[in-house]
Structure 1
Amino acid sequence: MFKKILLTFTILTLISCNASKPIIVTSKNAPLKSKSEIVRTTKKNPPKGTVISKPIATNQGRVDSKNNETEVIVSTSKTVVTNDVIKMYIYQFKDIAMGNMKTYGIPASIILAQGILESGAGRGDLAKSSNNHFGIKCHVGWTGESVKHDDDAAQECFRKYDNPSESFRDHALFLTGRSRYAKLFTLSKGDYKAWAKGLRAAGYATDPKYPDKLISYIDRYSLHEYDSMVLDPNFVSNEKQLVKELTVETRTVATNGLDSYIVQKGDTLYSISKKFELKVEDLKQKNNLSDNTLSIGQKLVVK
């Protein structure tokens, strides 16, 4: 009898132990759930790493795009240009700008920067239709030709010139001949920042950012180098490097659809024909030239 009672007690004890196993399984599942949460958290970390790397990719893209950067110039018209077009413009008119600086006392850097901004680097509507590179309106006393163009008001009167060099000369006469610009000529010719701010203060433009835009072009394209060349004959600049770069850009632009060229100091029909891979006779025929005479600022058809 005692043996039966002992056997029964042993069986009940075993059954009781087995009944606790599900509790053990449940407690093991809890850590598994927490591990899966850690895994999910770990998976969220890589995107953070990706975000950190994005600025690197973006900066690299900016560096690459800078070689062919496009910008919109808004003056009397909205013009889309590239760095190549602006460099071509500088190459074409730097000698005229330096000549005007010597004659009239206006910094060459300011002249070039205003030309770039006001004419859309020669690609704006006024520049193409009337050779007006500085957005100068007719004003009282103008007796030359004119064109109508929408600006602050509809169909305003703007001056028209036979060639760009006339526009550059008239710009100099415009500034030197009006009393409101007199303070400009008390400024140092080497202080292009003061000149840029002075033009805005004198009322040349209503855009509050006008000085910043001019200064930006001067800094980006080292236009102040031309001021230094005029002010100090012994100044050693990067002119050779600048001309080399601009010449390369000129050739690049010339082979990419440029259909006209402005005659510069020292140009000949032969040198221009070589630049645009034309025969001299073909160049003369395209422009109805009877001889080899050229004038600075003359526009030639080269395509």
Structure 2
Amino acid sequence: MNRRIWTRIGFMLILAVSMVACTSVEEPPSVPDEVREKEEKGTHPYTGELWEGELPTPVMVMVNNQKQARPQSGLHQADWIMEVLAEGEITRLAAFYFRDYDGKVGPVRSLRPYYLDLAEGSGAVVAHAGGSPAAMALLQERNWPHVDGIHRGRASFQRDGSRKAPHNLYTTVGKIRKAGSNGPMETREMNPLLFDPQGAVEEFDPASRIEIRFHRLYEAGFDWDQTEKRYFRRTQGELQRDRESGEVLGVENVIVIRASHRVLDTAGRREVDWTSGGEGMLFQRGLGRPIRWENRDGWLLPVSEDDDVLPLVPGKTWVNVIPDEGTWSYGDY
């Protein structure tokens, strides 16, 4: 091979090396910390929030909402709250705890069959202080895990001497889990719960203030806080706070649904229709949209006109169940 060819080959090699040396290597696009953390930890199926490790057994506590019981303890840490009328034209709260919380919860009150139905979706252990004859029979019929604060489960509860019975019985989520279950939550096939940081109300009506009338003697509401990105709860016109911390109760999702109620006896005990579905509203991010609600796998969920389950904003949810004569209103006022 002559010198000219060798010279040409050498020149081409030098040019190739130079081009490689001068070409910058593109780094892969960086992944935001919150996305990487979500991929590594996963999300909680019932709150949409970051979660790592085993899921604790869900707990549902029956919480008193009479005037003598307010302010309550521990509601600010509940992941879901289901509010339904009980006797005396006042609501009772089924407070669900899907994560760990060791603080005081209560005052705890008695169980009714339609509250026990609300535990179906998550399979929660139910904490209660006795119950109607029908509710106690249903617990046995379904062999439902529960801890009763005035019968065999008394050791998991304590009385607060600063309040009068029946508004002074308290427990903790940890005590209920220990007494009513044998370990972490069983894996449940549960598809309907959807979460999206943008929610499902982007193109709907402003709703910075929500008014809900369960009965002529009992009203509640929520106020949107743009800074905190949460709805803060009002009961009978006053902000509802945690008794111990003073924290105002706040949630990311407010759902209002209408369900048929029927009074069963002279004591005022009720029956609530969880099967027929009906109309309602979904409030998120300071906006509201009309919905239908359906009972899907034991959850009362917001559904679109196309029968699609609507996504919730990750965080806490408060479901307000009003009777046929109940009302709601909302807007920027």
Give the shorter-chain TM-score range: 0.3 to 0.5
Larger radius of gyration: 1
Report the structure, 1 or 2, having the larger strand content.
2
Q: Which has the higher contact order (CA 8 A, sep 6+)?
A: 2
Report the structure, 1 or 2, having the larger helix content.
1
TM-score, normalised via structure 2 length: 0.33
TM-score, normalised via structure 1 length: 0.35
